[in-house]
Amino acid sequence: MSVFNINPLDTVFFRDAKPFSMGEETWANSLFPNLLPSVFYGSLRTAFAIENGLKTSTDIERETADFEIKDLRLLFNNIPAFAMPLDLVCIGDDIVGLTLTTPQAISSYPFSKVLKCEEEGDVEDLEGYYLRYDQFQEYLNGISSFSDYKEECYDLRNYTAIEPKVGIARSKETRTTRIGALYRVGMSRLEGKGNNTKTSFYVQFKNLAIADKTITTIGGEGKKAIIQQGNELPIALPTFDNTDTQFKLYIATPTIFTQGAIPDFINPNNLTGEIIEGINVKLLTCAIGKFLSIGGFDLAQQQPKPMQKAIPAGSVYYFELLDTTNTEATFTQLAEHFNVYRNSICQEKTFAKQGYGICYVGKTPNINEK
């Protein structure tokens, strides 16, 4: 397994899949800070191709057929940061966890549980905030409250800056400006205004050999970045016992399911399924963010890729074991499968190998009925 940090040497831009017609739309939206694994998959393959003199898409496909991304994170000052879980909210200066409860009203709501805030006060979301490495490990162990989040958690605004850019297109024949081709984009500079406010990317992968300090391109406009050897940063396994029957699954990278928000291994009629071989679960509820529209361009086929909807990082799914015999051993097996070996929850192999669907198993606090 290889671990590298990708450090942009300039601004970066990860455009969304919204149609962008010259003369009609002038502003292109960026998906950052959402990290699309396919962008980094392509960047690393580009670096490998240049390093090994591969010139055709056929050669690249053949030589990187077994390449897989196993982890992808933001780094703030070389320390991992994790998108704020969507089952946490802000009340005042504190972060509190939502409680898993049984819905009281009769409705078309498909799940057997809901997530509810039991604390008093004005509830706000935590968009733009990230858990620190140690906080995230506490979160996976069932800790759902963090005090003074503005001081203790990472605020993306302190580590990045938006730099608007205005561009034009030129005619190849006359070398003058083309009419109706003015555009604007919001480039992201991955560095804040103060000292020690550097942002970079952590990527762990296998079956691809890349030299240290390799130069590659990343994102729109082919911006340059340097790939440098990094250190593996493992996540400790949460501690379960035989009294636990429920668990959460934190989505660390955008995840693509063919059933929309419902994982592919879940039967939508009874919300049960086999999450990994031999372990059957029931989906209790979920806290998910707004879908991301993911497209791209297929170099081999020379055509746009089909549009896909992805669950964003930070989304959380709650499950219950159907077989409660020796749950401690079952949870250890689950945690090793996802937290240690970083297997994807995506069942489509193409997306799984690119790094979509990386997730972590965690304990569920507040599991008592309310």
Lowest mean pLDDT among 95-99, 151-155, 178-182, 326-330: 178-182
- pLDDT > 90: percent of the chain: 63
- pLDDT the model gives residue 367: 44
Amino acid letter at 54? L
- pLDDT the model gives residue 20: 61
The answer to whether 264 and 257 are in contact (CB under 8 A) is yes
pLDDT score of 32 more than 90: no
Residue from 140, 101, 142 nearest 118 by CA? 101
- pLDDT the model gives residue 21: 61
- pLDDT the model gives residue 7: 95
Structure tokens at 175: 């070398």
The answer to whether 309 and 291 are in contact (CB under 8 A) is yes
- pLDDT the model gives residue 369: 38
- How far apart CA 358 and CA 63 sit, in angstroms, is 24
- How far apart CA 68 and CA 323 sit, in angstroms, is 32
Question: Which three-class secondary structure state does DSSP give residue 62?
Answer: helix
pLDDT score of 368 more than 60: no
Average pLDDT over residues 348-353: 94
- pLDDT-derived band at 149 (thresholds 50, 70, 90) equals confident
**Hey, what's the torsion of the CAs at 167, 31, 70, 60, to 10 degrees?**
-30
Question: Which three-class secondary structure state does DSSP give residue 201?
Answer: strand
- pLDDT the model gives residue 45: 93
Residue from 177, 161, 158 nearest 169 by CA? 177
- pLDDT the model gives residue 18: 67
The pTM is what?
0.92
- How far apart CA 230 and CA 246 sit, in angstroms, is 35
Kindly report the CATH number that applies to the domain delimited by 82-155+235-363.
2.60.40.4350
Lowest mean pLDDT among 128-137, 179-188, 361-370: 361-370
- Give tens-digit pLDDT for 101-118: 998 877 888 999 999 988
The number of helices, as runs of H, and strands, as runs of E, in the chain is 6, 25
- pLDDT the model gives residue 36: 92
